[in-house]
Each structure stands twice: as C-alpha cells, then as structure tokens.
A and B are shown apart, each in its own frame.
Chain A
C-alpha cells in the first residue's frame, strides 16, 4: 500500500529551528510537496521537491532523498505565526496525490 509518515505533533521555541520529517512508500514518485495549514484555512503551498537535495526559500528549506524515501522541512527563526499543521504530500506514478496526516507544530514563547 501507499503510505506517508510524519510525526503527529512537535513543539519548538520561538526563535529556534525545527525539522519536520516525512517518509513515504508510494507506487512511483513525481514530486513531494510541503504545505502549511492554519486551523480553518486551506493548505498553503510551501515547497516542491522532485530532485534530491535541499531547496531553500527564506526561513523555510525542504530536503529530499528519493533513494531513502525521505524528506524534511526545516523552519528557522521560528515565529509564533508558524504555529500550524505542516502537510507532506507525494505525487505517485498515476499522478495521484498521496497526503500525510500532517504534523501539528506548536511554538512556545
């Protein structure tokens, strides 16, 4: 079967760095997405990785290793507004989007 695993919840301190991991087992791979979702809102696109390596975009970076079926989202200089759920999603060979259940990130002052 197809599966996306990410931690259910994480807690970090304002100003610190946090890494949210995502592992996947899917039938084929056409890219991996990270989304941020605040309660009551639709997911907001953060990053897209299709090749191995690190993609940096401001305070957020995303890493992919296709051979390991692994990705992480790195958030630096955490702000209170970063408190949200972070969703990992993979496009499989049939162009189906397989979603993880999301990681709830709690930022403490």
Chain B
C-alpha cells in the first residue's frame, strides 16, 4: 500500500486564491520531506526541502513567500500556493525520507483559471 499520501490529487481554483496541498507519511516518521514541481514534458524540479520543526530550504528561483511550506510534525508537511496565478498551474509532488529510502506521493494537479 501507499506509504506517502498526498491530497488533493486535483484542484481547480480561481486566480488570486490560495491552495494547500498535504503530504503525509502513513507508516513512518519523516524528518525530511521534499516538494517538487513538474512542467509538461520535463523532469521533476526540486522546489524545497522541508525539515520537521525548522524552516524549509528553498531552491534557487523558488519564491518562499509564494510557496509556503510547513512541516509541523514528523508525518505531515503542507505546501500552500498563495495568490495562485495561471502560471502556477502544474503537477506538485512530495516525497518523504524514510531512512535510506525516499517515498513519493501520487501528486497534485493544480489548475489555476
């Protein structure tokens, strides 16, 4: 069964609204979670590394005030896309570190109208 649960799988929102995506590790504690974004026909791009109890580390070019990451517990990290615009439409995927292994969520398709 799935070890990382990501919700919602699809979301459609109006421009200017905020969207929250949840990533949960179901049967292990994840001190580190990762958030990725995938543009059509391109590989996944790492956006940020989320560490439990501390601020996320963002990759170069990723706006931390736009993509808010919270990792308040060892089993939950959230990504909030604030004031979403059509250019934010994309696949967002999380992963959680469980020892040496990395487990991925099923992804969230965000469509901003």
**Main SS at interface, chain A:** loop
Interface centre among B34, B104, B105, B106 (most CB of A within 10 A): B104
**Main SS at interface, chain B:** strand
Q: Which of B34, B42, B104 is A43 in contact with, Cβ under 8 Å? A: B104
Which residues does chain B contribute within 8 Å of A31, judged by CB atoms? Answer: 100-102
Interface string of A17-28 (1 = CB under 8 A from B): 000000000000
Nearest A residue (CB) for B91? A42
* Interface band, chain B: 20 to 34
- Do residues A95 and B109 form an inter-chain contact, with CB atoms below 8 A? no
- Do residues A48 and B36 form an inter-chain contact, with CB atoms below 8 A? no
Which residues does chain A contribute within 8 Å of B102, judged by CB atoms? Answer: 31, 33, 48, 91, 97
Interface string of B69-88 (1 = CB under 8 A from A): 00000000000000000000
- Do residues A45 and B104 form an inter-chain contact, with CB atoms below 8 A? yes
Interface centre among A41, A45, A48 (most CB of B within 10 A): A45
Distance A38 CA – B38 CA, assembled complex (angstroms): 14
Interface string of A68-109 (1 = CB under 8 A from B): 000000000000000000010101000111011110000000
Distance A44 CA – B97 CA, assembled complex (angstroms): 17
Distance A30 CA – B101 CA, assembled complex (angstroms): 8
Distance A91 CA – B87 CA, assembled complex (angstroms): 28
Distance A31 CA – B38 CA, assembled complex (angstroms): 21
A27 smallest CB distance to B (angstroms): 15
